[in-house]
Amino acid sequence: MEQFRLPKIPVPHLELPQAVQNILTEAEERLQHRPRLLAQFRNCFPNTLETTTKLLDDGTTFVITGDIPAMWLRDSVEQVMHYVPLAKEDEQLQRIIGGLIKRHTFYADIDIYANAFNETANGWHWDANDETEMSPWVWERKFELDSLCFSMRLAYAYWRETELTDIFDERFKRVMESILSLWKTEQRHGEQSPYRFMRRNCPAHDTLRNEGLGMPVNYTGMIWSGFRPSDDACDFQYNIPANMFAAVTLRQMGEIARWVFRDEKLVSEMAHLEEEIRHGISLYGTYRHPEYGQIYAYETDGYGNFCLMDDAGTPGLMSIPYLEYASTEDIVYQNTRRFILSKENPFYYEGQAAKGIGSPHTPPGYVWHMALSMQGLTADNDKEMLEMIELLENTDAGTGYMHEGFHSDDPNTFTRPWFAWSNSLFSQLVYKAMKKGIL
């Protein structure tokens, strides 16, 4: 049997919680016949805790994305989501995850539009010359609809798993109300929004056109977004997967408002906005493709223009069941899935080593490990799930970790060797397969 050497793991920031150690012990038994996959899982499952997590003195938790010293709201949630099912009986994980939720609400209370933040008010920025309302706490102020959805996703999942309510303080409720107000404003972005973003001397995907306002949109009931989950600017400002995510988030926030805060008025307002978004998606967010039938568009402007594609990041069209907007049996999702896993999707690539979805965020021909993990997580059959695991296993370039994108002809050519979100999503997939008993 071929032997695999574990790459050197960076010095951990904190001791691994017992529940995480138990999973690694379980993997030693279940994956012993797959030594390479076992080595990858041993590296990737604890990677967020070992390399990106810092417990702060105020009881909150700061989680960097990996090779960038800032915390993205989106990334930090997905970096820890695979630990949430383990948190009920583990007080150390409760401290870590509960602290991260509190850190999210602290940041959202500072700037409801920002996507990434500094550990302290140190004034660090991705680009110090961005033309928008910056704060010394803010690393980057790209308004991405999905960012706040992720904050609420983590809080909801943690609450449902642990039944703990200490995270739901006055600030949390204030942030929920701010999110609701923000999203109502961004339904009518051109008429009501104060948000502008411009970055000079940069690629076109790093700034908003029309003097920072973005391209014109028609009212649809959906919520405007400046940027995609990739941090690239939207072509058409209604991003369909992000609006799906927002609809699910409103339902989840409604449950918190009802059962924790006992605020039926807030519940009603959230349900009304959710209905408007869902109606907007059904009316404006689908496209009749000549080969694949009715599919979900990636973006639209409400004027009949569509962006037909999928991006490797979450939320994307592939991740619709993962977000719990629709099931894998949904016929429009099935049509969409066939479309995005075909060459009709301009960011689907097939090479000698792999085939899958990439992103305009990386060079042509690059498939993302995250896209392969998500394809496995949303597969409706064990065969496809196992195929994705094997593909991930064989494209790590011998590093023992997942990456951002890699060339579909040569996995040794890749971007971002330290990308904790990708490691976490891979771990989630492998652990799901372990629990199903198919590995």
Cα 31 to Cα 20, 388, 391, 402, distances in angstroms: 16, 16, 16, 18
Contact present, 367 and 406 (Cβ < 8 Å)? yes
Decide: 197 and 141 in contact? Cβ < 8 Å. Answer: yes
pLDDT at 67: 87
| Encoded tokens for 308 | 């037909």
What integer pLDDT is reported at residue 13 of this predicted model?
A: 59
The two most distant CA atoms of the chain are separated, in Å, by 65
End-to-end CA gap in the chain: 18
CA separation, residue 92 to residues 15, 80, 84, 99, 256 (Å)? 9, 13, 12, 10, 24
Report the pLDDT value the prediction gives residue 257, as an integer from 0 to 100: 98
Per-run averaged pLDDT (10 residues), the chain, 439 residues: 36 80 97 97 98 97 94 98 98 98 98 98 95 97 98 98 98 98 98 97 95 97 97 97 98 98 98 98 98 98 98 97 98 98 98 97 96 98 98 98 97 94 98 96
**How far apart are alpha carbons 354 and 409 in whole angstroms?**
7
Q: Residues 128-166, buried b or exposed e (16+ Cβ, 10 A)?
A: eebebebbebbbbbbbbbbbbbbbbbbbbbbbeebeeee
pTM as predicted: 0.95
Amino acid at residue number 194: P
Q: What is the C-alpha separation between 397 and 30, in angstroms, rounded?
A: 24
- All residues at 6 or more sequence positions from 273 whose CB lies less than 8 Å from its CB, including other chains: 180, 183, 184, 250
DSSP bridge partners of 407: 366, 410
Angle at 381 between CA 375 and CA 386, to 5 degrees: 65
Class of domain 53-346: mainly alpha
Per domain, the residue ranges of the chain are 53-346
Spatial separation of the C-alpha atoms in residues 151 and 359, rounded to whole Å: 24
Tally of CA atoms within 13 A in the half-sphere of 4 that contains its CB: 22
Distance CA 35, CA 22 (A): 18
CA-only gyration radius of the chain, Å: 21
Half-sphere exposure of 86 (CA within 13 A, CB side): 22
Position 8 scores a pLDDT of: 38
